[in-house]
Amino acid sequence: MAPSATETVVPVVEALKQKAVSQADATPEKAPEDLNGGAVGSAPIDDAFALPKLEINHREPLKLSGALEQFKYFDNTPVIGREYVDVDLAEWLRAPNSDELIRDLAITISRRGVVFFRKQDNITNDLQKELVQRLGELSGKPATSGLHIHPIINASRDRGGQDNEISVISSVQNRKLYKRFQQNQSGYNKPQSRRLEWHSDITFEPVPSDYALLRLVELPSTGGAPYSLPIIDADIIARQVVEPGTSGYSAIVKNFGPEILVPVSESMPESGIDGKGRPLNRPALGRRVFGEGEEQKKSRGVLNGIVHPAVRKEIYRAILRHYLKGHWAVVLDVPLLFESGWDKLSGVVMVVAVKDPELQMKRLMERDPHLSAEDAQNRVLSQTDVRLKAKRCEARGKGRGVVVWNDGSREELRANIDACLQEIRKSSPPWWNWLCLLFPPLGVAAGAWTYWQNIQLNKKWQDLELQEKARL
């Protein structure tokens, strides 16, 4: 009969005990010379029979060089997220101390979890790939590792782009790839490229990527709005119509001179990165046009005379495009709505305002932390007081003017907007929208009627202003 497990193990244990006792009286055997390649923090092994020391093959954490301290930033939350202000990553990639900048950026990303950069118009696909590769290399990635290729979102897919190393995240592509999963989203049928699960495709691979760069190149037609309304953002269009190579850009340089352009540097040639010209230095241009001085007012008029006609042309095109798509309404996000006359085209004007001027200044500086108190004040003074805009909006009458006071929380703001949109929707039933779309002459007539009514409302407001001045 075969021995039991206990009968087999006991003799082995006793033999090990006798061996340990005999070796305790002997001189300990020295370990061979350290052959670990001289890793940072490593140490020779003094006792071959001792437990390993914690510092063996240990690498010290990377330390910041301080190269990023010259740039303005703010932390999005106390524990995660950081945003750098007025930084051009394309310049960092070509700067003399580029390696220090990119290495410190890699360390900062690891510490803060995510780092944001806005308005990176000079970053191309090739520069994006170079930046991600260098983030890894300068923080210790093996030379044998290249850029990650997403297992699902790659160039082999429809709308997947032309480069396997750049994953194109598209809602249109997502709906096409996972159409059969739309009715069954439980258990293992969840598509792994949806926004909540996208990262799992790369996290659980044998060699996951160390850094990822998400670059927004195209806004959704609804602007991400929760009400499925297309948003036409005048600020975005105003930037597009003055990009290098446009007629608006040429007019601004002609009137304000080359000193309002980004300075020439190793990463910014005289003719610009793409040969169309250097981008506008917006802070420098802002100092020329914002303020109450006579020269600033004159410069602001010149700038508005260049930008407003070009913006107006693009907005007309966008309105027509959304009208042909059958949308029941279009949101015009225009800060200077009354000043530029866009209220004449609006069926309903909504003004979101605060009653407390100090709260307005506080929020402006929180949104744009690179602004000094003086710069923020000049920007506020360069526009009509928001409380006066609210009063003018209310003067349009019920159903044509809506004021949403935003002195409270975001939840309160959302509730107020929900209530306002419900009232506006009642005044524009779906059948009327389809009727205007199917019979264009009716739509044109309705638009002309709205335009004429708004002209009358503006005359009424001008009369009220004159009466107010007469009382003073």
Tell me: pLDDT of 70 over 70. Answer: yes
Give the chain's domains with CATH numbers: 1-60 (no CATH), 73-203 (no CATH), 223-326 (3.40.50.300)
| pLDDT confidence of residue 117 | 92
Q: pLDDT confidence of 40, banded at 50, 70, 90?
A: very low
The whole-number average pLDDT for the span 74-86 is 83
Tell me: pLDDT of 86 over 50. Answer: yes
Chain segment 197-251, per-residue pLDDT in tens: 445 555 556 666 788 888 877 655 444 455 778 888 888 888 888 888 899 999 9
Chain segment 145-190, per-residue pLDDT in tens: 888 776 666 666 555 466 777 777 766 666 665 555 544 444 444 4
Q: pLDDT confidence of 193, banded at 50, 70, 90?
A: very low
Q: From CA 48, how far away is CA 138, in angstroms rounded?
A: 35
Tell me: pLDDT of 68 over 50. Answer: yes
Give residues with Cβ within 8 angstroms of 72, minimum separation 6.
84, 85, 86, 369, 370
* Half-sphere CA count of 180, side-chain side, radius 13 A: 2
Tell me: pLDDT of 342 over 80. Answer: yes
Neighbour-count burial of 311, counting CB atoms closer than 10 A to its CB (0-12 exposed, 13-18 middle, 19+ buried): buried
For 214, other C-beta atoms within 10 Å of its C-beta total 10
Chain mean position to CA 383: 26
The whole-number average pLDDT for the span 338-362 is 87
Q: Which long-range contacts (CB under 8 A, 24 or more apart) does 376-385 make?
A: 378/290, 378/291, 378/292, 379/286, 379/290, 381/291, 381/292, 382/289, 382/290, 382/291, 382/292, 382/300, 383/335, 383/336, 383/339, 384/338, 384/339
Tell me: pLDDT of 447 over 90. Answer: no
Summary mean pLDDT of the chain? 77
The whole-number average pLDDT for the span 67-93 is 86
For 426, other C-beta atoms within 10 Å of its C-beta total 9
Q: pLDDT confidence of 42, banded at 50, 70, 90?
A: very low
376 vs 99 pLDDT, higher one:
99
Q: From CA 305, how far away is CA 209, in angstroms rounded?
A: 49
Dihedral sign from CA coordinates of 380, 384, 388, 389: negative
Strands 231-233, 115-117: pairing is unpaired
Give residues with Cβ within 8 angstroms of 309, minimum separation 6.
none
**Residue holding tokens 């093959």?**
57
Axis crossing angle, helix 294-324 with helix 247-256, rounded to the nearest 10: 180
Chain segment 248-290, per-residue pLDDT in tens: 999 999 999 988 888 887 767 888 877 888 888 887 888 888 8
Q: pLDDT confidence of 34, banded at 50, 70, 90?
A: very low
Query: 376 φ, ψ to 5°?
Result: -65, -40
Percent of the chain with pLDDT over 90: 11
Query: Strand, coil or helix: what is 116?
Result: strand
Tell me: pLDDT of 135 over 60. Answer: yes
Q: From CA 472, how far away is CA 460, in angstroms rounded?
A: 19
191 vs 146 pLDDT, higher one:
146
Q: From CA 35, how far away is CA 41, in angstroms rounded?
A: 14
The whole-number average pLDDT for the span 331-343 is 85
| Contact assessment for residue 139 and residue 153, using Cβ atoms and an 8 Å cutoff | no
